[in-house]
């Protein structure tokens, strides 16, 4: 009987020494094997029934001692396992504060929006009223009242998206001039900003782009004032060093008419690939209001004169930010927009 106890004790010690004490479940298996309801130590206690009355106390004490020592050893091992588990979870949950953060995307305003705001700011400061006009115009506002009758060859300059007979997506913001003069008496100063639409598409032309229109009507308004206003505007957009050039041109609604060029923003005017070697880049059209336009809106051209201009905002944005493709401006591409 005694040897059975010693054997069991040795077997336990042997097994314990081979158990991974950092592994709680391995210790639990060992505990059940020895101390569980059908465990080896429990079995010994159960077997005591067959012993004689004299043997029982000594044997009982020895088995009990064994049970206590097994229990103590198991508890010690469980403590170790618990600590090991804690150490493991601390290790795996460790935060390396030296690692770079996840980063975030900062929102910014669209380059076209910024230019719009600047244009409004500039002209508002000079006493111009701001009008948005409308995207859909009739033939009268988009062409006819602007001195462009149906058979006028200049209609070919702007390929039109027609919505119905005589109704179209506006091809320019100039129709806003007519609406404005129909509803306001001179003296008047206004700028209109908005989308315009043309059947056109390549690297620098899009079927939809934005224009800014300007109109000034008063007594004694001259071409010199137009030049002064737009030269200042160009400086505001491109900086003090920009040079301007008014190149004779034609628009049915202005006479005389001019194209406004600014010195090339890429080469400073020396001539490069972007300005096709000319040193200049076109940003818009302008001119003195044609008396025929005044006649269409009932303004006395003997008393009043005026000037008008129209710029492409997309073109200005492209020049200012060196954007190679106009379509990027409406691409909604985060990689593009994130640069502003
Ligand atoms: N509407 C003309 C265009 O779209 C620009 C312009 C506006 C020219 C006003 C003269 C006066 O090209």
Verify whether ligand 1 is closer than 6 Å to residue 192 (CB atom). Answer: no
pLDDT digits (tens, 9 = 90+) for 179-208: 999 999 999 999 999 999 998 888 888 999
**Please, are residues 177 and 211 in contact by the beta-carbon 8 Å criterion?**
no
Q: What is the DSSP letter of 147?
A: T
Report cis status (omega within 30 of 0) of the bond before 256. Answer: yes
* pTM of the predicted structure, to 2 decimals: 0.71
132-151 burial string, b = 16+ CB within 10 Å, else e?
Answer: ebeeebebebbbbbbbbeee
Please state, in angstroms and as integers, the Cα–Cα distance from residue 23 to each residue in 71, 74, 75, 185, following that order. Answer: 17, 12, 13, 93
**R_g over Cα of the chain:** 45
Per run of 10 residues, the mean pLDDT along the chain (length 340 residues) is 84 89 88 89 83 84 88 91 91 88 83 94 95 94 93 75 93 96 96 94 89 97 97 94 95 96 91 91 96 97 98 92 89 87
Q: Please enumerate, as own/partner, the contacts of 99-107 that have beta carbons within 8 Å and a separation of 24 or more.
A: 105/334, 105/338
Report pLDDT for 86. 92
CB of 310 closer than 6 angstroms to any ligand 1 atom = yes
Q: Which atom of ligand 1 is nearest to the CA of 157?
A: 12
d(CA 164, CA 228): 41
Written as one string, the DSSP assignment of 45-89 is HHGGGGS-TTHHHHHHHHHHHHHHHHHHHHHHHHHHHHHHHHHHH
pLDDT digits (tens, 9 = 90+) for 118-177: 999 999 999 999 998 999 999 999 999 999 988 887 676 668 999 999 999 999 999 999
Give the model's pLDDT for residue 158.
65
CA of 214 to the centre of ligand 1 (A): 9
**Burial zone of 261 (CB within 10 Å; 0-12 exposed, 13-18 middle, 19+ buried):** buried
Test site for ligand 1: of 284, 288, 313, most ligand atoms within 8 A of the Cβ: 284
The phi, psi pair for 273, rounded to 5°, reads -60, -40
- Kindly give the number of the ligand 1 atom that is closest to the alpha carbon of 311: 5
CB under 8 Å to 68, separation ≥6 — which residues? Answer: none
Instruction: Quote the ligand 1 centre to 129 CA distance (angstroms).
Output: 19
**Closest approach atom of ligand 1 to CA 310:** 7
């Amino acid at each position: 009987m005694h040897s059975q106890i010693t054997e069991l004790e040795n077997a336990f010690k042997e097994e314990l020494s081979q158990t991974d004490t950092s592994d709680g479940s391995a210790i639990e298996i060992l505990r059940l094997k020895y101390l569980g309801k059908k465990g080896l130590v429990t079995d010994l206690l159960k077997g005591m029934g067959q012993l004689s009355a004299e043997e029982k106390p000594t044997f009982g004490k020895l088995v009990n001692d064994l049970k206590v020592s097994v229990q103590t050893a198991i508890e010690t091992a469980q403590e170790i396992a618990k600590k090991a588990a804690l150490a493991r979870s601390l290790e795996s949950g460790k935060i390396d504060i030296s690692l770079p953060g996840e980063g975030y995307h900062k929102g910014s305003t669209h380059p076209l929006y910024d230019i719009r705001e600047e244009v409004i700011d500039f002209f508002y400061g000079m006493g111009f009223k701001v009008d948005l006009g409308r995207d859909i115009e009739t033939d009268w506002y988009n062409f006819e009242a602007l001195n462009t009758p149906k058979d006028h060859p200049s209609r070919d300059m702007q390929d039109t998206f027609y919505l119905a007979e005589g109704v179209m997506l506006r091809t320019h913001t100039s129709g806003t001039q007519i609406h404005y003069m129909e509803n306001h008496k001179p003296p008047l100063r206004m700028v209109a900003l908005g989308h315009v639409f043309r059947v056109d598409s390549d690297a620098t032309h899009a079927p939809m782009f934005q224009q800014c229109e300007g109109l000034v009507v008063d007594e004694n308004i001259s071409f010199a004032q137009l030049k002064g206003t737009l030269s200042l505007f160009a400086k505001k957009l491109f900086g003090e060093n920009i040079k301007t050039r008014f190149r004779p041109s034609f628009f049915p609604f202005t006479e005389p008419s001019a194209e406004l060029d600014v010195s090339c923003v890429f080469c400073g005017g020396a001539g490069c690939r972007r300005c096709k070697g000319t040193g200049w880049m076109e940003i818009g059209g302008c001119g003195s209001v044609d008396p025929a336009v005044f006649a269409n809106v009932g303004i006395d051209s003997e008393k009043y004169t005026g000037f008008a201009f129209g710029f492409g905002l997309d073109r200005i944005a492209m020049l200012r930010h060196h954007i190679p493709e106009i379509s990027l401006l409406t691409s909604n591409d985060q990689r593009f927009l994130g640069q502003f």
